[in-house]
């Protein structure tokens, strides 16, 4: 777990296999802003393979979030192709022989805490880069 995420009290996680429906197992809230981190689970080992975020803070301090929030970004956000993760993740998992993903999500901007989602995402990626000299393998760029 990354220390940047410890201060966020609103969050949860779910697991996803190639046989699951991402729309059904994703328990992230709609209309929320924050970050999500994706781990490949292989027996007892856990590898961070992706970090993502959603929500934009405006210059007046208000949040602009897409209608579906974290839920929509995780389920329908594009990755690996011009198609939603509900389709691209199972395909990529088959290609890489990944049996289980564990996804943690955190609301970083709400009534209790005001952290810019992309800033939190960037800090996690920076720490990963510092430790590994590269980004997580499912993060193409930042």
Per-residue pLDDT of the chain (142 residues; tens, 9 = 90+): 577 788 898 899 999 999 999 999 999 999 899 999 999 999 899 999 999 999 998 999 888 876 789 999 999 999 988 889 999 999 999 999 999 999 999 999 988 899 999 999 999 999 999 999 999 999 988 8
pTM for the model: 0.93
**Number of domains, the chain:** 1
Give the residues across from 41 on adjacent strands: 46, 100
- The answer as to whether 75 is a domain residue is yes
- The answer as to whether 140 is a domain residue is no
- The answer as to whether 137 is a domain residue is no
Give the residues across from 17 on adjacent strands: none
* Structural domain of 69: 3-132
User: What is the number of other CB atoms lying within 10 angstroms of the CB of residue 77?
Assistant: 17
- The answer as to whether 50 is a domain residue is yes
Q: Which of 57, 81, 68 has the alpha carbon at shortest distance from 23?
A: 68
Looking at residue 112, its pLDDT comes to 87
- The answer as to whether 138 is a domain residue is no
Looking at residue 98, its pLDDT comes to 96
- The answer as to whether 59 is a domain residue is yes
Looking at residue 59, its pLDDT comes to 93
Looking at residue 1, its pLDDT comes to 58
Looking at residue 77, its pLDDT comes to 92
């Amino acid at each position: 777990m990354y220390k940047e995420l410890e201060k966020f009290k609103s969050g949860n996680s779910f697991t996803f296999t190639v046989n699951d429906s991402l729309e059904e197992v994703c328990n992230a809230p709609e209309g929320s802003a924050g970050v999500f981190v994706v781990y490949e689970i292989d027996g007892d080992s856990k590898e961070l393979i992706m970090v993502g975020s959603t929500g934009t803070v405006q210059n007046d301090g208000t949040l602009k979030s897409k209608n579906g929030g974290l839920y929509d970004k995780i389920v329908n956000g594009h990755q690996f192709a011009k198609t939603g993760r509900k389709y691209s993740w199972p395909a990529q998992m088959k290609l890489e022989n990944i049996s289980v993903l564990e996804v943690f999500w955190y609301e970083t901007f709400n009534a209790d805490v005001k952290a810019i989602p992309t800033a939190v995402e960037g800090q996690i990626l920076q720490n990963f880069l510092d430790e590994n000299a590269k980004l997580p393998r499912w993060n193409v760029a930042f």
